[in-house]
Amino acid sequence: MFKKIAVGDVMTRKFISVSPDTNLLACTKQFVKQKVNSLLVTKKDKLLGIITQRDILWTITKKSNIDLNKVKAIDIATRKVAITKPSSDVNEAIKKMKKVGFRRLPVMSKGRVVGIITLKDILAIDPSIYTSFGEVFSIREESRKLKKLSLDSSQSDGMCEECGEYSELLRVEDRFLCPACRENLY
């Protein structure tokens, strides 16, 4: 499809990043001001995670009385982020996006963030690939919803992976959660 087009040729070079200590209210202001859907969480060009508008919405939904001034970006950022290199071809980036279900990949070179490639950047080259992406993301979304509904019966005592409290735990979405945190999910 895009065998000869390098990620570095189509990526967004002027990506928006925030420090790990930036509060969520400041992040939401950046989303609006910069008209973006994601922010890279960086410290001295080192990628620590990525935060999306959806992450903030989930946080507000889970804890409705949360003070956005007190929650830091790194607290809710996705830390296991798939990345790509500027020398990779766009086809490789598409395959990686489909595989991990992300709509954006930070672009790294020599351990530094140099840009971000998004689905929008790729669609600017060839809008016809939207249908293949749309199918993958809708299937992934349905799978995620079904996974949330199915609670695994493996139960034990230990530290809750959400709040850190010692409690009776139940496995939910590959994490062990206490009763209070499980209740906050739904």
Q: How far apart are CA 85 and CA 173, in angstroms?
A: 30
Enclosing H/E stretch for 74? helix 73-76
The band of 163, judged by pLDDT with boundaries at 50, 70 and 90, is confident
pLDDT band at 134 (very low <50, low <70, confident <90, very high): low
Do residues 169 and 158 lie in contact, with contact meaning Cβ atoms separated by under 8 Å? yes
In this prediction, residue 1 carries a pLDDT of 53
Distance (Å, whole) CA 6 – CA 93: 9
CB 110 within 8 A of CB 87: no
Q: Please tell me whether the overall predicted TM-score, pTM, comes out greater than 0.75 for this model.
A: no
Are 168 and 155 contacting, i.e. CB atoms less than 8 angstroms apart? yes
CA distance 48 to 122: 24
pLDDT tens-place string over residues 55-106: 998 888 888 788 999 999 999 999 999 999 999 988 889 889 888 888 899 9
Query: What's the token pair of residue 40?
Result: 């890279």
Residue 152 has pLDDT above 60, yes or no: no
Is 116 a residue whose pLDDT tops 80? yes
Mind listing the domains of the chain with CATH numbers?
7-146 (3.10.580.10), 151-185 (no CATH)
Nearest to residue 58, comparing CAs of 24, 82, 23, 19?
Answer: 24
Ranges 4-13, 115-124, 135-144: which has the least confidence: 135-144
Distance of CA 112 to the CA centre of its chain: 19
Q: How confident is the model at residue 124 (pLDDT cuts 50, 70, 90)?
A: confident
Q: Is the pLDDT of residue 154 over 70?
A: no
